Amino acid sequence: MNLKTTKNVLLYSLLFAVLLTCNLQPHQQNDDFKNDDINIEDNLLVNQGLAQKDITLSINSYLHNYTEYSNYGAVDARDLVVDGNFAYLADGSNGFRILNITDKSSISEIGFYINSTSPDIAYSVAIQGNIAYLCYGLNGLVILDITNKPSPNVLFTMKDQFGLASCYDIDIDGNYAYLAYGIFGMAIVDITTPATPSYVGKYHHVSIDVRDVKVYNIYAFICDANYGVHKLSISNKDNPTRLGGYDSGQAFQIEISTASDYYYAFVADYNGFFILSLYSHPNPTLVYQYSDATHARGIHLEKRTAFVTYENDVGMRMFNVSNVLDVEFAGQFEDTGDGFGVTVVDEYAYILDGSEGIELITIDSDGDELYDGYEINDVLTDPFDPDTDNDTLYDGPEFFGYPALDNPYNTSGFFYGLDPLNVDSDNDTIRDDEEIFLGIDGFMTNPVNNDTDADELEDRYELGGILYPTSPFANGTGYIFTDPTDVDSDNDLLWDGEEINTYGTDPLVVDTDADGMSDKYEVDYFLDPLSDDTTLDKDSDGLTNIYEHSVSYTNPNNNDTDADDLTDGEEVNGIYNATHTYANGTGWVVTGKPLNSDSDADGLKDGVEVKFSDSNPLDSDSDDDQLNDFAEYITYGTNVNSNDTDNDDLPDYWEVTSGTDPLTIDTFSDPDNDNLTNWQEFQLGTNPLDDDTDGDGMPDGWEIDNSFNPLVPNGLADTDNDGLTNREEYNAGTNPRNPDTDNDGLGDEWEVEYGTNPLVDDASDDPDGDGLTNEQEMLNDTDPLDDDSDDDLLKDGEEVLIYGTDPNLADSDGDSFSDYQEILDGTDPLDGNSNQAQSRLAILIAIGTSSAIGVLILLTIFFIVYWTTRPEQKMFRFIAKQKSDGLESLSIKEISEQVDKKLNKGDVKQLVNEFSEAKGITLVDNRVWLTSREEIEKNIQDYHIWLNQVSSRVISRKDKQVMSSRISHDIKMCEKLQFNELLAELNKILERVI
């Protein structure tokens, strides 16, 4: 049970005993007074910078009746602002008064203002410096200069904008005044220059009657006498908007307060006293209501207390609202008349009575910020002594929370738990005031914690000295004095309490035994902090305690600090191993790093390198072969001290990275069957397990034999400019550096295209028996394997050697009669006018003209048949079929043969070039590659889209394989077509997919 709880139990027990003795029955609180059904957090009221703390007061508080101290007999008091020795009164029909309140028992008027030509009710007043803002009923807002208090001067009157409405209340926020303007609504006025204010905007709705306004942050809360409370947004001051509201019935005054990011409205309403939570949005919600058929009119908040005034001879009631879920009576002032409002300043409450004027009551007789009712009935302090326990701290701040801002232990802004009846709240024999302020002891400590620095020594012992007569560190009287605000007075990382109570060390000396090792070090490593043990070797590792502390920084209680299987002494002084490759001249191996288990960071602990692997513990690659010692000793089993373990002239690193066996002599092996031995591949830099290192379609050995670089893709190049790529030459077996391998006058490309043998001299052969040698066929551009290249029934030899016709055209003279027909008819196949059939053609045309419809039908049918059977369409259908089958490329000859040679090479090339982008094909020399730059660029876009779509999920193995295959195919095509920029992008995409 803490101090506060104990105190309250004792107080309530005492009060209960007194009541029993006097045979009194305490007046029970109205059941309507609490609201136990509301399920929200307990929150605290903060007003005017007071502390946030729950206080619990007994039901007897309300029994305290306050009495009138003095009276100012104004007739119709409505609102009052107190400023020092002056008070400014909105005095209803009597206008505006300035009062001297220096002598509270005899308040006197020193100045006034009244509109005698148009009298009305002065409802409210606000003061800023020497300016008074008066809400003067139908006279509107009157702005007064009160520099000369006996004779206030009118600066400006604003009423014309508001029609026949009365101005009831004003709240000033920055450069704006917010006016409660009755049936006009809420008005906003710019008062940057008080002498020339300007109207800004308003909030209004039908049947509104605004009586009070309070501004908080970007909100205005207004009391509507025809509704309750409205919550408005004033972000746009030209046009405030309603966010929500609470219908309490008939609201007159409102006060706003916040607590721990929660805020509340306290409302005086015709139906009673309301507390609304403004945290709920947009509508305020009811937290508490007190109604007993009385009508609340005014409200003021001060020191966790709501002062509420009432109509009809009730007076004023005080409510403790520290906890809005447990509101209690805190006192009352019984009075006749109508209480329009109340102003509380210091120890006085100014009650504004509509018929009796200002009634001044003393609510805090001793001015200790604790109201008399609380002192008499709850706290049990002396209401006439501001410091009941004589600790120089007023009772109110002690009870509610003392704002000692200079004290470093006041972390929340207030000290809670101080006892106004006890000069020493934490019972540490140090007065509260001595702890809160920098007193004669030279320290500020925590008055509610008897061990301020939490070092297991109470403040009283640290300040008064710890009696420790047997300690060699105590002064002459046997006391040790430590710092009550420092958990570690000597900064040796041991708490003062530990040193005194546990280890017996000196809390004011870092090294109690002066052996060069701090108390903390000796305690942590289980050495003796009270005696000199520097020369001892507790862990028997060959190093003294002081050496491990100051030189090697090793653990004196662990002989192998870094757990590398070498003791700290062996690492510092060396371990004898005369046969070790890296021993020094005297046979010792020294790492010198007892705090690092792997001194060379090669993955092998120092102990393994010294005792087992015979490697250098200070060199990650003992033999400098680019394989670290761990890889050689553990992974590959190679010799850590030899760069060629199997002595086959192939370095271990090359064999490991190339995939050959570093433990077997394989110098002259050829695992990839490319006619290059491993030794040759090592010298050349090629891959011994890949017969085509550069992936250009030509084996490494063939490239070397033909003087090519096997590391550079050059399969698509045509080194000898014979029309065949180097790769095609490899496939054909021809010499890539000789355009006519067999030197027969027939170029390799021509022989490969037309099917003759490029490796044998066959220039004079006539394989198709048409009477033309291969050489003649080449010169005439005819097919050496087709005796009738133009299919006109005349052999190529006959056309060239006998008739002189074109062996590549069936109708040499273009007269629509084949060469063969003209020879049969005896006409000249080289003269288009030699055939009399022209007349017959004219007759046919005439007949056709007379049968136009029939001809059109026939032509339509012919066009359809022709279009679908024309050689161009057949060619592209063939190319598309090969492309879908996964073929990479076609020769011009292969394409020509598929269309029965109705298109010669020139026609094929022209068509391919013309439709390359549309068909996704590319012509390079005499080969058609079944892809194009545009097609691959489109594929790259598709790959990026796919990657984005699957970025948020795991890619299945099947999807990854399919996509990798497609990308790899495009990479291969880019390599062959030398689309280098696309190749780089595709490789990046493939890495992401993999």
What pLDDT is recorded for position 57? 41
| pLDDT at 63 (0 to 100) | 54
pLDDT for the residue 3: 34
DSSP string over 176-192: EEEEE-BTT-EEEEE-S
Q: Which helix (H) or strand (E) holds 882?
A: helix 871-884
Q: Where are the domains of the chain?
A: 86-160+177-198, 568-636, 853-919, 931-994
Predicted confidence band of residue 15 (pLDDT cuts 50, 70, 90): very low
> Which is higher by pLDDT, 407 or 783?
783
Tokens coding 262: 């929660």
Checking phi first, is residue 673 left (phi over 0); if not, alpha (psi -120 to 50) or beta?
A: left
**Percent above pLDDT 70 for the chain:** 87
Task: Give the pLDDT mean for 209-218.
Answer: 96
The secondary element (H helix, E strand) that includes residue 422 is none
pLDDT in tens, 334-344: 888 899 999 99
Mean pLDDT over each residue of the chain, to the nearest integer: 86
What was the pLDDT predicted at 67? 85
DSSP 152: -
Span of 126-135, 288-297, 566-575, 849-858 with lowest mean pLDDT: 849-858
The length of the chain in residues reads 994
Residue pair 252/211 in contact (Cβ under 8 Å)? The answer is: yes
Task: Tell me whether strands 305-310 and 316-320 are parallel, antiparallel or unpaired.
Answer: antiparallel
CA–CA distance, 895 with 622 (Å, rounded to integer): 63
pLDDT 10s digits, 466-520: 665 555 555 555 567 888 989 999 999 999 989 888 898 989 999 999 999 999 9
Q: State which amino acid sits at residue 585.
A: G
Buried b (16+ CB within 10 A) or exposed e, 413-443: ebbbbbbbbbbbbbebebbbbbbbeeeeeeb
Tell me the CA distances in angstroms from 327 to 123, 229, 575, 828, 987, one per residue in order. Answer: 30, 21, 82, 130, 75
User: What is residue 60's DSSP assignment?
Assistant: G
- What one-character-per-residue DSSP string does 13-33 give? HHHHHHHHHTT--PPPPPGGG
Q: What is the pLDDT averaged over residues 76-98? A: 95
Structure token pair of residue 22: 């006097």
Q: How confident is the model over 32-83, as pLDDT tens digits?
A: 323 333 223 333 333 333 333 334 444 444 457 888 888 998 678 999 999 9
pLDDT of residue 894: 81
Residue with tokens 């055939």: 835
Query: Are the CB atoms for 121 and 137 separated by under 8 Å?
Result: yes
* DSSP letter for each residue of 301-314: EETTEEEEEESSS-
- Residue 846 CB contacts under 8 Å (≥ 6 apart), including other chains: none
* 3-class SS of residue 88: strand
Q: Residue 41 burial by CB count (10 A; 0-12/13-18/19+): exposed, middle or buried?
A: exposed
| Residue 347, pLDDT score | 93
322 versus 135: the higher-pLDDT residue is 135
Task: Name the 3-class secondary structure at 255.
Answer: strand
| Torsion angle of the four alpha carbons 142, 148, 149, 154, in this order, in degrees rounded to the nearest 10 | -10
Rounded to whole angstroms, the Cα distance separating 879 from 928 reads 9
Q: What average pLDDT score do residues 788-808 get?
A: 91
Q: Which residues contact 41 (CB under 8 A, 6 or more apart)?
A: 262
Per-residue confidence band for 422, with pLDDT thresholds at 50, 70 and 90: very high
Binned at pLDDT 50, 70 and 90, residue 417 comes out as confident
pLDDT of residue 355: 84
Residue 753 parent element (H or E): helix 748-754
Identify the pLDDT of residue 89.
97
3-state SS class at 938 = helix
921 close to 928: Cβ distance less than 8 angstroms? yes
**Within a 10 A sphere around the Cβ of 131, how many other Cβ atoms?**
17
Average pLDDT over residues 677-682: 95
Mean pLDDT across 9-16: 38
Q: What's the pLDDT score for residue 477?
A: 58
Residue 160: closest CA among 132, 134, 198:
198
Whether the bond into 617 is cis, omega within 30 of 0: no
> Distance between CA 895 and CA 601 in Å, rounded?
64
232-241, 321-330, 832-841: lowest mean pLDDT where? 832-841
State the residue for tokens 């300690």: 471
The mean-pLDDT minimum among 101-105, 604-608, 844-848, 957-961 falls in 844-848
The DSSP code sequence of 826-846 is: T--TT-TTS-THHHHHHHHHH
Q: Residue 20 has what pLDDT? A: 35
Rounded CA gap, 605 and 622, in Å? 14
Q: Tens of pLDDT along 878-930?
A: 888 887 787 888 888 888 777 766 677 777 778 888 877 777 888 887 788 88
Q: Running DSSP on this structure, what letter comes out for residue 503?
A: I
Q: Give the pLDDT confidence score for residue 45 in this predicted structure.
A: 35
